Amino acid sequence: MPAFICITCGTQFAPSEKAPGRCPICDEDRQYVPASGQAWTTHEALARSHFNCFRQHEKDLLGIGTMPIFAIGQRALLLATDRGNVLWDCISLLDQATVAIVKAMGGLIGIAISHPHYYASMVEWAHAFEVPIHLHAGDRQWVMRPDPAIKFWDGDTLPLAGGVTLIRCGGHFAGGTVLHWANGADGCGALLSGDIVQVLPNRNFVSFMRSYPNFFPLSAPAVERIGALLDPYPFEVIYGAWFERIVPRDGKAIVQSSVVRYVAAIRGDGSAELK
């Protein structure tokens, strides 16, 4: 039986004879079902029409995306640690070339994902490399292809390897997670942020939203909590969810000033918008 993939969000569902009736990830206020209606593909069909591409972001950090752009269009990141390679976030296509390249680099020790929009075909990846998937338990309800490889974690932090820590920030999703990489950016530290901390096109600010496509904000306390949770961690570079969404320097200061800017706007009295 095929494991159908939602064309809009890229989530792979448990194998079924017929396509699922709906995608709960898209049929929810953070995402959307397009006007053309719910549509599905399969991993096999996707592998015929698409292929994966690679970009070395820095030493020990490889971006893996899909061409042409598929679904939300995020790229995954392969992070080399003292214990082996961690895949951060995931994509819907795992083609033969990607399996061969990742195996030649030593395979994986695990997969960690920021939030359900990037669960993608995580079970395909976990099976191919025989590794666990670390998901925050706060998002358990959004797993569309349950599998023994999925390991839920609780609390605010989970160390994955030397200098590699998952931090549950919440916000966009209850279990929204970022990855702090202490050795990144030549030892100055890097934050792999998914879109829990959203890198903006101008790269001078980040933002935080409940829904990006539907422009729905978070509350001030939720954004302040993200700032407080990241406060103990130094980082210079922020790797967002797409190849080009990278804050190259001053990442920590940019997050903190963005929290202040966001909270001032959301708590404002309306007078600033008339000046």
The nearer residue to Zn ion, 25 or 62, going by C-beta atoms, is 25
**Taking a C-beta distance cutoff of 8 angstroms, is the pair 151, 136 a contact?**
no
User: Rounded to the nearest whole angstrom, what is the least distance from the CB of residue 34 to Zn ion in the complex?
Assistant: 10
Q: Is the peptide bond before 221 cis (omega within 30 degrees of 0)?
A: no
Residues that bind Zn ion (CB under 5 A): 6, 8-9, 23, 25-26
Q: How many CB atoms lie within 10 A of CB 182?
A: 16
Strand-pair category, 76-81 with 61-67: antiparallel
The nearer residue to Zn ion, 73 or 163, going by C-beta atoms, is 73
Distances (CA, A) of 130 to 104, 147, 148, 155, 201: 15, 12, 11, 25, 36
The nearer residue to Zn ion, 22 or 55, going by C-beta atoms, is 22
The nearer residue to Zn ion, 27 or 250, going by C-beta atoms, is 27
User: Rounded to the nearest whole angstrom, what is the least distance from the CB of residue 11 to Zn ion in the complex?
Assistant: 5
User: Rounded to the nearest whole angstrom, what is the least distance from the CB of residue 26 to Zn ion in the complex?
Assistant: 3
Q: How many CB atoms lie within 10 A of CB 82?
A: 9
The nearer residue to Zn ion, 20 or 132, going by C-beta atoms, is 20
The nearer residue to Zn ion, 8 or 114, going by C-beta atoms, is 8
Q: If you count DSSP H runs as helices and E runs as strands, how many of each does the chain have, helices first?
A: 6, 19
User: Rounded to the nearest whole angstrom, what is the least distance from the CB of residue 27 to Zn ion in the complex?
Assistant: 8
User: Phi first, then psi: what are they for 259, rounded to 5°?
Assistant: -60, -45
Determine the 3-state secondary structure of 45 from DSSP.
helix
d(CA 12, CA 92): 7
User: Rounded to the nearest whole angstrom, what is the least distance from the CB of residue 22 to Zn ion in the complex?
Assistant: 9
User: Rounded to the nearest whole angstrom, what is the least distance from the CB of residue 32 to Zn ion in the complex?
Assistant: 9
User: Phi first, then psi: what are they for 68, rounded to 5°?
Assistant: -60, 170
